[in-house]
Chain A
């Protein structure tokens, strides 16, 4: 009974942290730039001048938005809160560090999911896109947004007092992943070694699920995509919490 009460309390507190982040940080220039402008410009540079059918372009935009938007909130909020010392409020509050990071993950999840739903709606309303597999699409959105938000939180453990100090190493990982995840070239068209490599990228499985959900082809299969995304979500969460704990010891 005490355990359930504690879990419910942690969920309420995590939601309060997430909601506060939504109110304060969603419209901050760093969130808009790294979370929306950046993936949208990359998408434009990918489609402009190439005759790419809309049914192929929309999943790419959705997955890129999920990837960049979700993973940008942690690296914006945590360094800023460290700088103005509001992060100390969480450390001195009667909640665990995991609850605080869960709150931050919620904020990243809602941002990523919210931003990436827009191209789906645009596709369905204006370009006759059809949702053929609702489960795959929903799982793709939810698992990817959560996993990438947790990835952002993990990177935000890098000591620094500005989003730039976290974004730089994060982009060092995010941008190369675009090239091995079937974004620009579908996985089926990659050489075997490329397909093997793409299997290890969480972004591959996001695109696969979204593509499959919108009537496209899925190379690895939705169950495998979901399993890999769940695995990454757990790994990013656990490693992120561990890194932040190590940081707190150095405080």
Chain B
């Protein structure tokens, strides 16, 4: 399979701060490649370097066979970019935004108008094409932003947190559109915080932490790296106050976390821990409501590689949103 992106020792310093540290990876043509990492790990900096917005301090990057530094015009002609915020012109209409993008890529008038109509229809914005974008919902702006990235019939699409902060319906619409675009042959470079999104959508993922690539593989192979780790999720009728503490005392349990009305136990010996839970429940006259055994998720791989718990990640995201707003 041909290469869509290749980085060699790609590095970025901001003053003395090393944001991206000599990273090397390849993205194949036609795949959905997930780029995961905690806040400040270097995801957006890497994307900005790959898209020519930011200049690398060291190293090289090729996009669709073109060096992004030396052949930037050729490389940029083949890429579409959807940044983490919808940078659309709110004073223009959806039509105006698309037409301006077409002109920025020097697409002939007839072709850009045909393409704008086609994209507005595909993204469900055609009926509101002449309205000012100011009045659009966040999901509509996001869809418009993706449509703008596709005006030049790009071969590769960079999506930075495409569904972040959107309602469920918009998230599903965008995910379906991205899948459809990929089926049509578009390579997707997807930067996301959302592990489930990466798990569901990506052919391969890279996890970046503190500016370095911690792992690259398919989601399933990454999960296998921590296969030994298993989880038991149990919920009780009439759970007592000290339940978390008590469950931790069960032999073979390495960690207990309360997830809503469920308790999640980490273990490497599920059968033994399961029978201990039954014994504990009957001894304490507790009725088990549900019990499930689970394998490791992509999030568990992420936690293991980055040392960042979901709570820390969530708090980090909230802080990020606040800082960005």
Determine whether the beta carbon of B83 is less than 8 Å from that of A93. Answer: no
Return the chain B residue nearest A248 by Cβ. B55
Does B308 reach chain A (CB closer than 8 Å)? Answer: no
Determine whether the beta carbon of B106 is less than 8 Å from that of A12. Answer: yes
Does B305 reach chain A (CB closer than 8 Å)? Answer: no
Does A13 reach chain B (CB closer than 8 Å)? Answer: yes
Given contacts A16-B100, A24-B92, contact A92 B85 (CB under 8 A): no
Main secondary structure of the interface of A (DSSP, over half): helix
- Chain B residues near A93: list those with CB within 8 A: 76, 104-105
Determine whether the beta carbon of B52 is less than 8 Å from that of A17. Answer: no
Residues of B participating in the A interface, judged by any CB pair closer than 8 Å: 14, 48, 51-55, 72-74, 76-77, 79, 81, 83, 85, 87-92, 96, 100-101, 103-106
How many chain-A residues does the 8 Å CB contact rule pick out?
24
- Chain B residues near A248: list those with CB within 8 A: 54-55
Given A94-B72, A248-B54, A251-B48, 9 new contacts (CB under 8 A): A16-B100, A16-B104, A84-B87, A91-B53, A92-B53, A93-B76, A95-B73, A249-B55, A251-B53
- Chain A residues near B87: list those with CB within 8 A: 84-86, 88-89
Determine whether the beta carbon of B104 is less than 8 Å from that of A24. Answer: no
Determine whether the beta carbon of B54 is less than 8 Å from that of A251. Answer: yes
**Interfacial residues of chain A within 1-27, with CB under 8 A of chain B in the complex:** 9, 12-13, 16-17, 20, 23-24
- CB < 8 Å neighbour of B77 from A16, A20, A89, A94: A94
Q: Tell me the complex Cα distance, A76–B76, Å.
A: 27
- Chain B residues near A88: list those with CB within 8 A: 53, 81, 83, 87
- Chain A CB within 10 Å, residue with most, of B73, B74, B103, B104: B104
Determine whether the beta carbon of B85 is less than 8 Å from that of A85. Answer: yes
Determine whether the beta carbon of B106 is less than 8 Å from that of A9. Answer: yes
Determine whether the beta carbon of B48 is less than 8 Å from that of A13. Answer: no
Q: Tell me the complex Cα distance, A13–B92, Å.
A: 18
* Minimum distance in angstroms from A86 CB to a CB of chain B: 5
- Chain B residues near A251: list those with CB within 8 A: 48, 53-55
Q: Tell me the complex Cα distance, A251–B15, Å.
A: 11
- CB < 8 Å neighbour of B104 from A23, A95, A250: A95
